[in-house]
Amino acid sequence: MDKKKAIKVLGATAIAASAFVATSPAGADAAANDVQSLVKKAKDAGTVLKWAISTEGSADGTTRPWAQYNAAKDTRDAAVAAINKLSAAEKAGYLADIEQNVTLHINRAMSYIDAITAGEKINVKKEALEAQIEKNLIDDNTEAAYHALSTEIRKQAILLDRVYGQSTRDEIRDNYKKSAETVRDSVKYEVSAKIELDLAAKAIAADDTATADKHLTEAAKYMKDVKNETMKAALVKTVTELEAQMTPEVKSVSSINATQVEIKFNKVVDPASLFTNGKDGAFKANTVSLTSLDIIAPGALSGTLSEDGKTLIVTAENPLSKRYDVVVDNVLTKEGKTFPKYAKMSTFEADATAPSIISTTRVSANSVKVIFSEPIKSLGTVSYKLADGTTVATSNVTNDFTPGSKEVTFTLGAGIAVNKEVIATFIGAQDQAGNLMSPNPATVSLVKGDKDGVAPTVSTITQTGAKTFALKFSEQLFAKPVVKINGSTVTTSDVVQDTTDPTVYNVTSSSVLDGATTIAVESFTDLSGEVGTNLSKVITFVKETAAPKMVTSAVVTDATDKKEYLEITFDKDVVLSTPTVDATSGSYVKDFVTTSLVDGDIAPKTVAYKSATDKKIVRVDLATFLGANDVKGANYKLNLSFTGITSAANVTANNVQVTFTRGEDGIAANTDIVAVTNVAQGSDNNKVAITFDKAVDGGSAINPENYKIDGAIVESVTLNAAVTSGSSTTQVAILNLKEGSNGFTGTRNINITNVKALGSTKTMNPYFINTITLNENVAPVVTSAELTATNKITLTFSEAVTDSSANDFEVLIGGKSQGIIEEVSAGIGSANTTVVVTITGIDATELAQGISLKGLSTLDIVDAAGNKLSVPANITVSH
């Protein structure tokens, strides 16, 4: 619309100008010609400038067209100066022409030039970040360069967007903005991870474990997308260092299905401290337990650790529901630090989620693994049909299902043709909580693959130790092969698939490998079903004659008993048989004084493996080893010899020399765990007696928060003196219940937690009992006292009471004792809600002064539960 208006104005002006020129004098005609010449020159310069800032012309997005810009500006200014000498009527058309064809391009050129200037500012920041990236550095300078570039892009982007022309604008953006964003984004995840790790470091310094863990978790998410391997290695190193500084703790406990609980740790767990086999499965004693508070026993527990070692999945034998005391104790980090004991109650909702099939995975040509969303109690009824609807006999399909499995492998038998699709239909499959599968029925496709035409072969047989060798196959096998050594079959458990190369099986012989040996490899099949040809081959093994050599020695303080141990690491696994270490000679230096040692000064002492899972490291308790020559702060140089420490080939370890500085043993933490042996009603209904099996820590034992009794309030705890009888000690804590807080007589749930043994660092395992009957402790009260005759007072009670004797009240007249003791004339000895008291007759004068009853110390009125009548103040007698 603006262009149309401009054209119209220009046309009208041109006509006016022509008419004026035709009738003007000669001088005016010359001036007009001069203006027209200058306008044309300016417009020509504007056209050149227009193409200089356009991708259709000579613009390259990096060069500023200053010459064309200045030429257009100078010619424009000259033309405008000449135009301004004309009359007002003559100016309009020329000025509009200049504005449209020169000034417009000058302004656009200025935006173009400004954009290049802005882009070059971006480039400076981009090059700074590129320099850091080229060095593979992820440090504060890299982060600063990243943020500086991001800021510059945001700041200069508006100038880039002002460039006229879509194609030119895109080129400018590509040259500067997009190229810079590409560089910046190439380390986006690296920088983001570093930022989170820096925040984690600050949180750790402030001892804020929860915040630190949150940032470490976020860092881990970013690190999954890090592409720069060098930077990734640096970030991983930082994570390791930060995690080493964190106080170990259990982060969370939650149920994930009917029989499984997820326990998250903030540090990598040492599986050897958790499982009996050091890897997975059954737990060691006193490590993980689930104790039901609602008589819903979990049964046997087993577990598996996640790949990163921070998440433990606990699987219970039985479905879990309602409240459980969850205890995690005696668990170590990978670095040997102890996780503090976790003992808290968790409520697990009964599993109401239907199980489902989440995937299928081909195991071999004949086998498919079906993976369920959770452990399955029953597969229900499984039927099979071909894709065309033909029924497949169940005998042609087998599976390895066992109750509690999440994964089931189905094997298609010989009766099913190759490449035939079998549809397996599950009807009535249930999870451990009895929830039916969804959808029900559910189907999966099982396809029998064809053999690949290439049978597996044994590629190499390589000796790896005195009793071990490795079998490498040409491809992965469906199952372990049968291996024989000189005709004797190797136990299946001694043929183990390698964890890093699935085509390798590591074989352990029962005896030392020596000389020509016949190795037979039989019954092996590849994943496609091709059967390999049995192999029998004579292999010449070299009997190991090299003695175990020490690689390193170090003094290490044990995390549990706080003693210093001399640890010796050998270059190979060693076998211990009544093993000892002896210092045959040496010396130690203390305060610049050297003391020489000869054979016999330090007697041989027994050594042991540091860990059952690492047979290269042995250790000896330094205090025991050094004996009388144990000097704190001394620098030792000892020559050691070994007995009973041999290689698998029975070659005794070489003598070694070690140097170390002796510190001192710490005091082992007292880890005694106290237990409850008895819970009983106390001396009255306001007390409950808890008997512990040993002396307890007073601070934890008298904390009312550590005792929970359903339907009652523990107001305070009184600790009796510990009692020792023979070799055993017991101690009783008296729970003082709030008066009137226990409203009924009957069986109660009683929970006791967090009490420690005297001097111990370990809290007790949560104690729960629901077979103890406690009496209610709501005391009866007098609801009314009425003078029903001049010598009789009728008392009404809040509940039925009994009174075994008469001396319960003293009569007061006008607040003064009359020395008159009540005598019960009705209700004594039986349960009643009313009792009639006979007193000395009252006259009108005494009646006017007011009558009341005062409870005596001999008052023995009690309710059915034995709670004594409560008389907090004198009882006013009405009349």
User: Is 559 a residue whose pLDDT tops 80?
Assistant: no
Q: How far apart are CA 434 and CA 162, in angstroms?
A: 67
Of the candidates 303, 291, 204, 309, the one whose C-alpha atom is nearest the C-alpha of residue 256 is: 303
Q: Which two tokens stand for residue 491?
A: 């136990």
DSSP code string of 466-527 = SSEEEEEESS-BSSPPEEEETTEEPPGGGEEE-SS-TTEEEEE-SS---EEEEEEEES-BBT
Of the candidates 424, 407, 419, 415, the one whose C-alpha atom is nearest the C-alpha of residue 361 is: 407
φ and ψ at residue 323, rounded to 5 degrees: -95, 135
Tell me, yes or no, if the pTM score tops 0.75. no
Which residue ranges does the chain devote to CATH 2.60.40.1130?
782-877
User: Is 684 a residue whose pLDDT tops 60?
Assistant: yes
DSSP code string of 284-342 = PTTTEEEEESSS----SEEEEE-TTS-EEEEEESS---EEEEEEE-S-BBTTSPBPPPE
Question: How confident is the model at residue 752, as a pLDDT?
Answer: 93
437, amino acid identity: M
User: Is 828 a residue whose pLDDT tops 80?
Assistant: no
Give the mean model confidence (pLDDT) for residues 599-604.
95
φ and ψ at residue 18, rounded to 5 degrees: -65, -45
Helix (H, G, I), strand (E, B) or coil at 181: helix
3-state SS string for 117-177: HHHHHHHHHHHHHHHHHHCCCCCHHHHHHHHHHHHHHHHHHHHHCCCCCHHHHHHHHHHHH
Report CA-CA distances (Å) from 231 to 129, 142, 192, 194, 559.
14, 11, 12, 10, 34
Q: How far apart are CA 784 and CA 786, in angstroms?
A: 6
Residues contacting residue 278 through CB under 8 Å, at least 6 positions apart: 271, 272, 612, 613
Give the mean model confidence (pLDDT) for residues 699-712.
93
Give the mean model confidence (pLDDT) for residues 667-688.
90
Report CA-CA distances (Å) from 201 to 195, 216, 529, 757, 775.
10, 9, 54, 36, 55
Q: Is the dihedral of CA 736, 739, 740, 745 positive or negative?
A: positive
The fraction of the chain above a pLDDT of 70, given in percent, is: 95
**Burial annotation 173-188 (CB, 10 A radius, 16+ → b, else e):** bebbbeebbebbeebe
Q: Which two tokens stand for residue 216?
A: 């470490």
Q: How far apart are CA 778 and CA 835, in angstroms?
A: 20
Let me know: does 689 contact 681? Beta carbons within 8 Å: yes
Q: How far apart are CA 351 and CA 472, in angstroms?
A: 46
Of the candidates 869, 814, 863, 862, the one whose C-alpha atom is nearest the C-alpha of residue 842 is: 814
Question: How confident is the model at residue 59, as a pLDDT?
Answer: 87
Q: How far apart are CA 829 and CA 805, in angstroms?
A: 8
User: Is 690 a residue whose pLDDT tops 90?
Assistant: yes
User: Is 491 a residue whose pLDDT tops 90?
Assistant: yes
Residues contacting residue 182 through CB under 8 Å, at least 6 positions apart: none
Question: How confident is the model at residue 253, as a pLDDT?
Answer: 96
Helix (H, G, I), strand (E, B) or coil at 251: strand
User: Which CATH number among 1.25.40.10, 2.60.40.1220, 2.60.120.380, 1.10.390.10 corresponds to the domain 676-774?
Assistant: 2.60.40.1220
550-661 belongs to which CATH class? Answer: mainly beta
**Burial annotation 521-535 (CB, 10 A radius, 16+ → b, else e):** beebbbbbbbebeee
Q: How far apart are CA 176 and CA 156, in angstroms?
A: 10
Tell me: the pLDDT tens digits for 85-131? 988 888 888 999 999 999 999 999 999 999 999 999 999 999 999 99
Of the candidates 752, 739, 680, the one whose C-alpha atom is nearest the C-alpha of residue 709 is: 752
Let me know: does 757 contact 777? Beta carbons within 8 Å: no
Tell me: the pLDDT tens digits for 766-823? 888 878 889 999 999 999 999 999 888 898 999 998 887 777 888 889 888 876 555 5
Q: Is the dihedral of CA 629, 632, 637, 643 positive or negative?
A: positive
Question: How confident is the model at residue 88, as a pLDDT?
Answer: 85
Q: How far apart are CA 879 and CA 875, in angstroms?
A: 13
Give the mean model confidence (pLDDT) for residues 65-84.
93
Q: How far apart are CA 826 and CA 492, in angstroms?
A: 89
Residues contacting residue 402 through CB under 8 Å, at least 6 positions apart: none
The pLDDT confidence band at residue 829, using thresholds 50, 70 and 90, is: low
The fraction of the chain above a pLDDT of 90, given in percent, is: 62
User: Within 13 Å and on the Cβ side, how many CA atoms surround 635?
Assistant: 6
Which residue shows structure tokens 């008159």?
Answer: 820
Q: How far apart are CA 516 and CA 537, in angstroms?
A: 10
Instruction: Give the helix/strand (H/E) hosting 674.
Output: none
Give the mean model confidence (pLDDT) for residues 251-279.
92
Give the mean model confidence (pLDDT) for residues 136-140.
92
Give the mean model confidence (pLDDT) for residues 124-150.
93
| Cis-peptide into 25, omega within 30 deg | no
470, amino acid identity: A
Provide CATH code, domain 250-348: 2.60.40.1220
Let me know: does 785 contact 877? Beta carbons within 8 Å: yes
CATH fold group of domain 782-877: Immunoglobulin-like (2.60.40)
User: Is 594 a residue whose pLDDT tops 90?
Assistant: yes
Helix, strand, coil % in the chain, rounded to nearest 5: 25, 40, 35
Q: How far apart are CA 363 and CA 795, in angstroms?
A: 87
Let me know: does 752 contact 709? Beta carbons within 8 Å: no
User: Is 16 a residue whose pLDDT tops 50?
Assistant: no
Let me know: does 793 contact 877? Beta carbons within 8 Å: yes
Which class for 283: exposed (0-12), middle (13-18), buried (19 or more C-beta within 10 A)? buried
Let me know: does 319 contact 258? Beta carbons within 8 Å: yes
CB atoms inside a 10 Å sphere around CB 254: 11
Q: Average model confidence (pLDDT) for the chain?
A: 89
Q: How far apart are CA 471 and CA 483, in angstroms?
A: 10
Helix (H, G, I), strand (E, B) or coil at 817: strand
DSSP code string of 30-82 = HHHHHHHHHHHHHHHHHHHHHHHTSTTTT--SS---HHHHHHHHHHHHHHHHH
* 666-669 long-range Cβ contacts below 8 angstroms, 24+ apart: 666/557, 666/562, 666/563, 667/562, 668/560, 668/561, 668/562, 668/563, 669/560, 669/562, 669/760, 669/761
The pLDDT confidence band at residue 835, using thresholds 50, 70 and 90, is: confident
| Cis-peptide into 441, omega within 30 deg | yes
User: Is 23 a residue whose pLDDT tops 60?
Assistant: no
Question: How confident is the model at residue 855, as a pLDDT?
Answer: 87
Question: How confident is the model at residue 418, as a pLDDT?
Answer: 86
Residues contacting residue 680 through CB under 8 Å, at least 6 positions apart: 688, 689, 691, 772
Tell me: the pLDDT tens digits for 444-484? 999 988 888 899 999 999 999 889 999 999 999 988 999 99
Give the gyration radius of the chain's Cα atoms: 47
Give the mean model confidence (pLDDT) for residues 536-557.
92
The pLDDT confidence band at residue 31, using thresholds 50, 70 and 90, is: low
Let me know: does 854 contact 792? Beta carbons within 8 Å: no
User: Which CATH number among 3.40.50.800, 2.60.40.1220, 3.90.1300.10, 3.40.50.450 corresponds to the domain 458-541?
Assistant: 2.60.40.1220
Question: How confident is the model at residue 14, as a pLDDT?
Answer: 38
Give the mean model confidence (pLDDT) for residues 344-363.
91
Q: How far apart are CA 253 and CA 346, in angstroms?
A: 8
Which residue ranges does the chain devote to CATH 2.60.40.1220?
250-348, 357-447, 458-541, 676-774
User: Within 13 Å and on the Cβ side, how many CA atoms surround 658?
Assistant: 24
Query: Could you tell me which residue, 451 or 644, shows the higher pLDDT?
Result: 644
Which residue shows structure tokens 């899972």?
Answer: 613
Tell me: the pLDDT tens digits for 371-405? 999 999 999 999 999 988 899 998 999 999 999 89
Question: How confident is the model at residue 3, as a pLDDT?
Answer: 38
Q: How far apart are CA 331 and CA 271, in angstroms?
A: 9
User: Which CATH number among 2.60.40.10, 2.60.40.1220, 2.60.120.200, 3.40.50.150 corresponds to the domain 357-447?
Assistant: 2.60.40.1220
